[in-house]
Every structure is written in structure tokens, then in C-alpha cells.
């Protein structure tokens, strides 16, 4: 009888223990309710690369306010690669003590005091792209550290990830962030190699669709073992991805090159317009402390930003191409539409639009643009002027590498 009783007790303990094991299943779902419109902010990499320190970041936060960018909707101050110091004996990461002597918590507090949010960078591999300590094997410790510092946004890169599978690696950092308990926007920076748009919506809030952007309008920078892409090349790579984007989960064609000096004023305008049309995150990458008036006017154009931030959250699409001019449509809330004519030629191109003979069916969004049935008013969002309605034809000349961007409202 004693042997039977012992056997029953051991069996019961085994069953209880097995059942309790289910309590340790990880939560691989991102924090909901974040990035319901494409994130807006600033990132250090395009302009400063590894040359980052706390003085620069504080000055950028100050400039975000003083230039009007905060009022225009920019929120995140994101420190990219090379902020890292060493890990301590327990494996916890610390910032570079020379570059960030006050520590990340103090820096985050300063950024938050401005009404802004702070982002940081890490990598799924053993080292970051800049050779600093990556998060592989330290995901849960790093997430705890970021939460303690008050981080709001994490860009998570994909260098030095030997033998890792992207979906699993990003689920690991998502589980770590959930365990740490602080809602943090997760930016998946896997470069589109493993089609993150197919699995990223439940894991992160945005995902890179391509390799790095390059500061030119229409070119490719060949590094032999990899390439970086001009604005137009990046834009072309967004084809057939719109169905994956929406509130809380966005295609990310990389950061803006507006104001970095190699694009003309028209090219800056076209770059910003197209990122707005495709509902891309608007992450500035220039030195916002030293912007000229024209750059500020591009980055803070609230009417263009409103197209990007439209609560419907539908990515625009290219409808047609004629004589180097592309016609793009983006459905907006309240039955309105954004229409953008992109001149990819270096030469000016005339356009003539007969609205009464225009009919566009957006089968994905289940919306139609029928000016012959509805009278839309027309507003040029760059000149900020009303230019009539769809009862009359529209004729214009678009300068080379520039846009005509319109909002048509019922």
C-alpha cells in the first residue's frame, strides 16, 4: 500500500510539474496600440554614422522643438549604432562612458522633458554592423536595460547573424521586450531578405523592405559584396507590398535623405512626397540643428505629413506611367484622395488631366475614385493653394525630378 501511495504522489507531482511548464511559454506578440500611424522622428545614422554622443543627441532634441519639427508631428530621437560600451560581469550592456558620461537614463529623461521619445539601436547578431556588442544571447538582459532607461523605440539590425533565422530571432527580442514590460516600438531592420512583411505584423511595428538607402535620387552604390540604393530604386522595391501595411505594421523603405545636401530642392520634395504617399515611416536623417529654410519647409509641410499620417493607414500605389511621369494614388479618410505625379525625368514634363474621364478602382482598399460622379475640390499641398475642382481639366508642367502633389476632397 505504501508503494502504491508513493507511486500516486510521484505521478501527481509529475503531472503538476508538466502543467506548470506551460506557464513559461514566451509571448511573441508585439505591444499593441503603438505606431497606429507611420512613426515620425529622427535617426543619427545617415548623417553622423558612428559619431554620436550625448551632447549631439541633446542638441538634436532641442532642435526638434525649435525648428517646428515636433509641432509637425516628429516624436522619436533615435540613436543608431556605436553608442555601446562594454557588458559588465553579469552581461548587462552599458553605454560608452566617454560618449555618454551621464548615462542613457539621464539622456532619455532629457528627451522626455521635451515632450519627445527616445529610440536606441541593437542587433540580432553577436556584433552590431559597427562592431559593437550585439544582443545575441543577451536579449532579455538588453530588454530589461532598455526598459530601465526609459527607451521607447528599438531599431534591431541584422549584421553578424550567422545561422540565425530572422523570424525566430525577432520573435526572441519581442518576447524579451514583452517580459521587460515597457511598451517599445520594434523596428525590424532585416533588409527584406526573409520577407518580413509576411511574418512581421505580429512581431514588430515596422520592417525594412530593402537594404540601406543611399543619398542620391536615382542611382545604385555598389559596395561589391552589397549595394545601397538611391531614392527611386528604393521606391521601385515597394511594388506589391502595400497589402501588408496598415495601422501598427508598416513597410519601411529606410530613413529620409532630405536635407543631406546631395539632392536638389525638387528631389527633396519628391523624396518626401513619395514616402508620404506610400505611408512610410518619416524618420529624418539630416543635421536638423543646421537646416536651411527650404529643408525645414519640406520636412515640416503639415499637408504632406497629413497624407502620410492619414488614419485610414492605406499605402498608396502607382497607377500608371506615361513619358517618365508616374501617377500615384492614395485613398484617405472621408472618401478623399491624394494624387501625386512624379517626374522621374531630368527634363520638365507637361501633364494634362481630364478628371471627368478619370476612374480609378482600388480593389485592395475597396475604394473607387470617380470624379465624374463626385465633385472633388483640388488642393496643391506644396503651394498650399486651392486650384479648382474636378469639373475642369488640369494642366501643369512638372520640373525634372519633382512632383505635383494634390489632395482631392469631397
Beta strand segments in 149-249, E: 153-157, 185-188, 206-208, 220-222, 227-229
Element (H, E) at 387: strand 385-389
157 in catalytic set: yes
Q: How crowded is residue 104: how many other Cβ atoms within 10 Å of its Cβ?
A: 23
CA distance 298 to 271: 10
Rounded CA gap, 316 and 237, in Å? 14
Q: Kindly tell me the burial class for residue 400, based on how many C-beta atoms sit within 10 Å of its own C-beta (0-12, 13-18, 19 or more).
A: middle
Q: Which of 27, 143, 141 has the alpha carbon at shortest distance from 89? A: 141
DSSP result, 96-122: -TTT-TT-HHHHHHHHHHTT-EEEEEE
Tell me how far apart the alpha carbons of residues 155 and 153 are, in angstroms, rounded to a whole number: 7
The single residue listed with the C-alpha cell 511621369 is: 325
Please report, for residues 123, 179, 185, the alpha-carbon distance to residue 32 in angstroms, rounded to integers and kept in the order given: 22, 14, 9
Determine the Cα angle at 57 with ends 300 and 191, to 5°.
Answer: 75
C-alpha 358 chain-centroid distance: 32
12 CB contacts (<8 Å, ≥6 apart)? none
Q: Alpha-carbon distance 408 to 410, whole Å?
A: 7
Neighbours of 346 (CB within 10 A): 11
Which three cell numbers, joined as nine digits, stand for 192? 527584406
Of 39, 26, 45, nearest to 74 (Cα)? 39
Q: Which of 81, 123, 152, 212 is catalytic?
A: 212
Nearest to 283 by CA among 79, 50, 106, 123: 79
From 81, 142, 157, 362, the catalytic residue: 157
Catalytic residue check, 212: yes
Catalytic residue IDs: 157, 212
Amino acid at each position: 500500500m505504501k508503494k502504491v501511495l508513493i507511486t500516486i504522489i510521484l505521478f501527481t507531482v509529475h503531472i503538476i510539474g508538466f502543467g506548470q511548464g506551460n506557464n513559461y511559454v514566451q509571448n511573441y506578440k508585439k505591444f499593441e496600440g503603438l505606431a497606429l500611424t507611420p512613426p515620425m522622428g529622427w535617426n543619427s545614422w545617415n548623417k553622423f554614422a558612428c559619431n554620436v554622443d550625448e551632447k549631439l543627441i541633446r542638441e538634436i532634441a532641442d532642435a526638434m522643438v525649435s525648428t517646428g519639427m515636433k509641432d509637425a508631428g516628429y516624436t522619436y530621437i533615435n540613436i543608431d549604432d556605436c553608442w555601446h560600451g562594454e557588458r559588465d560581469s553579469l552581461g548587462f550592456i552599458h553605454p560608452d562612458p566617454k560618449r555618454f558620461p551621464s548615462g542613457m537614463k539621464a539622456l532619455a529623461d532629457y528627451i522626455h522633458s521635451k515632450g519627445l521619445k527616445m529610440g536606441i539601436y541593437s542587433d540580432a547578431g553577436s556584433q552590431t554592423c559597427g562592431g559593437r556588442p550585439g544582443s545575441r544571447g543577451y536579449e532579455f538582459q538588453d530588454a530589461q536595460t532598455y526598459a530601465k532607461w526609459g527607451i521607447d523605440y528599438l531599431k534591431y539590425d541584422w549584421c553578424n547573424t550567422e545561422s540565425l533565422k530572422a523570424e525566430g530571432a525577432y520573435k526572441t527580442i519581442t518576447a524579451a521586450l514583452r517580459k521587460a514590460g515597457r511598451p517599445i516600438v520594434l523596428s525590424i531592420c532585416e533588409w527584406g531578405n526573409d520577407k518580413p512583411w509576411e511574418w512581421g505584423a505580429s512581431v514588430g511595428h515596422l520592417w525594412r523592405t530593402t537594404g540601406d538607402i543611399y543619398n542620391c535620387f536615382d542611382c545604385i552604390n555598389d559596395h561589391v559584396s552589397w549595394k545601397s540604393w538611391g531614392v527611386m530604386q528604393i521606391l521601385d522595391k515597394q511594388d506589391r507590398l502595400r497589402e501588408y501595411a496598415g495601422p501598427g505594421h508598416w513597410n519601411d523603405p529606410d530613413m529620409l535623405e532630405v536635407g543631406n545636401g546631395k539632392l536638389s530642392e525638387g528631389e527633396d520634395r519628391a523624396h518626401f512626397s513619395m514616402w508620404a504617399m506610400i505611408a512610410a515611416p518619416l524618420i529624418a536623417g539630416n543635421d536638423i540643428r543646421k537646416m536651411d529654410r527650404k529643408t525645414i519647409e519640406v520636412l515640416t509641410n503639415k499637408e504632406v505629413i497629413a497624407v502620410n499620417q492619414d488614419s485610414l493607414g492605406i499605402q498608396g500605389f502607382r497607377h500608371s506611367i506615361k513619358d517618365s511621369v508616374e501617377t500615384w494614388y492614395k485613398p484617405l479618410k472621408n472618401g478623399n484622395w491624394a494624387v501625386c505625379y512624379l517626374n522621374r525625368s531630368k527634363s520638365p514634363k507637361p501633364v494634362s488631366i481630364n478628371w471627368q474621364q478619370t476612374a480609378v478602382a482600388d480593389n485592395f482598399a475597396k475604394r473607387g475614385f470617380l470624379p465624374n460622379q463626385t465633385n472633388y475640390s483640388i488642393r496643391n499641398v506644396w503651394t498650399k493653394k486651392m486650384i479648382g475642382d474636378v469639373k475642369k481639366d488640369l494642366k501643369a508642367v512638372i520640373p525634372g525630378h519633382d512632383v505635383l502633389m494634390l489632395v482631392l476632397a469631397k
